């Protein structure tokens, strides 16, 4: 069985490749723009390429049985607009023509609330391709905490938030990879739409406390107004359009608190990791 992993040098993709590489009877091919970042063992076939280059992708898909699809091809240079992101909706049809039998799509639970047209488009393309498919719909990634809070924790030992009591269920990227592995290799998941969350529903205050415990350091928590929080994100270099999406996310979950699902445990047989466990794995990112 040959599996092509796109986004193989990303947070989920790298974990997935490492898991698949230990599976007997599975050969792994990784598509990446920069093979020097791959650094996988000798048994992993690393191929330079880009999902937006459909002509080149056709050759990469030769001999592939199953596909893990990270559906957004981001611009190779700095982007100031989400409109510049390319949704690779032509890939599932191309994969089907190449003889691929199964695709596992890394989507987002935002599609369940009608708030993510990029992933909605990708899901539609997968569903219409004729391939056996599984849709992974994770909620917030715990890794987002490194992007949002890592800098201020490292430099000042503080997190500033305009939404201290908004609840979230951050998921460890390793748990998403574990579900993806099962969906790719094992049978019985065709047509499944898996909503994936972490183990615990936590307010932002509680999330900071969990990270402090896991990372083994003291972290202060300071409350901002929502407008102050927006300006703070923009000062960090986050594009305004993406900041507006983040603000919309917070407003949504203020009125619609999330719930924790048991999908990780039901699919893999192992419970989802806690945020404190994730922080222990990423302690260096907060020091």
Tens of pLDDT, residue by residue over 70-113, are: 987 554 444 444 444 455 788 999 999 999 999 999 999 888 87
What's the rounded Cα separation, in Å, for the pair 174 and 92? 25
In the chain, where the domains are located: 2-138, 140-172+198-258+273-287
The two domains 2-138 and 140-172+198-258+273-287 share their CATH topology (first three levels equal): yes
Helix ranges (H only) for 88-172 are 91-97, 117-127, 144-156
% of the chain with per-residue pLDDT over 90 = 72
Do residues 20 and 5 make contact, with C-beta atoms less than 8 angstroms apart?
Answer: yes
What's the rounded Cα separation, in Å, for the pair 180 and 184? 6
What's the rounded Cα separation, in Å, for the pair 65 and 177? 19
What pLDDT digit, counting tens, does each position of 200-212 carry?
999 999 999 999 9
- The CATH homologous superfamily to which domain 2-138 belongs is NAD(P)-binding Rossmann-like Domain (3.40.50.720)
Rounded average pLDDT over 188-208: 97
Fold of 140-172+198-258+273-287: Rossmann fold (3.40.50)
Q: Provide the b/e sequence for 83-92 (b: ≥16 CB within 10 Å).
A: eeebbbbebb
Strand bridging mode 66-69 / 72-73: unpaired
What's the rounded Cα separation, in Å, for the pair 193 and 263? 10
């Amino acid at each position: 069985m040959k599996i092509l992993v796109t986004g193989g040098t990303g947070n989920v993709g790298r974990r997935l490749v490492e898991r698949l590489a230990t599976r007997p009877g599975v050969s792994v091919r990784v598509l990446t723009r920069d093979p020097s970042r791959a650094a996988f063992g000798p048994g992993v076939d690393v191929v330079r390429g880009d999902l937006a280059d459909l002509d080149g992708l056709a050759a990469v898909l030769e001999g592939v049985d199953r596909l893990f699809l990270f559906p957004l091809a981001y611009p190779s240079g700095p982007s100031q607009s989400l409109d510049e992101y390319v949704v690779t909706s032509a890939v599932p049809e191309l994969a089907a023509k190449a003889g691929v039998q199964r695709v596992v799509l890394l989507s987002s639970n935002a599609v369940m609330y009608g708030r993510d047209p990029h992933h909605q488009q990708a899901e539609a393309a997968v569903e219409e391709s004729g391939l056996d498919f599984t849709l992974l719909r994770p909620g917030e990634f715990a890794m987002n905490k490194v992007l949002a809070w890592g800098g201020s924790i490292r430099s000042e030992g503080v997190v500033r938030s305009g939404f201290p009591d908004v609840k979230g269920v951050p998921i460890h990227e390793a748990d998403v990879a574990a579900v993806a592995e099962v969906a790719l290799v094992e049978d019985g998941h065709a047509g499944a739409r898996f909503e994936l969350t972490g183990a615990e529903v936590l307010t932002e205050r509680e999330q900071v406390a969990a990270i402090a415990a896991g990372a083994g350091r003291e972290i202060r928590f300071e409350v901002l107004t929502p407008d102050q929080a927006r300006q703070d994100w923009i000062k960090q270099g986050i594009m305004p359009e993406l900041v507006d999406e983040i603000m919309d996310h917070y407003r949504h979950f203020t009125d619609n608190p999330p719930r924790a699902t048991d999908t990780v445990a039901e699919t893999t047989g192992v419970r989802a990791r806690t945020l404190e466990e994730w922080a222990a794995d990423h302690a260096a990112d907060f020091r």
